[in-house]
Amino acid sequence: MPLPFPDKLIDELCHNGDLEDYRETIHDILSVITATGIKVSTRYDVSFSNIESPTDNITRIRVSLKNVKAPLNIIWQLLHEFGHFLSGKAKSGDTLLFREELAMQKTILTHL
């Protein structure tokens, strides 16, 4: 059965993110994320990662590989942005701190 994400994505994350020792972990994380229908891609234009839900109804996590100084941060970014997806849309009155904490709680408690 083909992977729901291209091998080249794992290759790119591991090579450009200096994560070759974590190839299996990256594969496992991408498997969980893409099983929910989310797409994952890389970006080099900015140094932050984000989650996008454009009008074509495809949610995408865009992982920044620009100026990677701490490779394990890439894994954290994948999990963190996935947590935002699991948290749903922000509600009126939600603070930034609440949303950030909720994103990590959802990832850790739901899928790890």
CATH of the domain at 83: 3.30.2010
Task: Output DSSP code: residue 69.
Answer: S
Range of the domain at 72: 7-111
Q: What is the mean pLDDT of residues 8-15?
A: 93
pLDDT at 109: 57
Residues 6+ apart with CB under 8 A from 79: 29, 104, 107, 108, 112
| Separation of alpha carbons 24 and 87, rounded Å | 26
- Side by side, the strands of the sheet bearing 50-52 are 39-43, 60-64, 50-52
pLDDT tens-digit series, residues 64-88: 999 888 999 999 899 989 988 888 8
Residue 1, SS3 per DSSP: coil
Beta-strand runs (E) in 48-92: 50-52, 60-64
Residue 14: predicted pLDDT? 93
Residue 112: strand, helix, or coil: coil
Do residues 80 and 104 lie in contact, with contact meaning Cβ atoms separated by under 8 Å? yes
Which residues does 112 contact at the CB level (< 8 Å), separation at least 6?
79
Task: Determine, yes or no, domain membership for 2.
Answer: no
Closest CA to 45 of 66, 20, 19: 66
Number of domains in the chain: 1
- Would the pTM count as exceeding 0.85? no
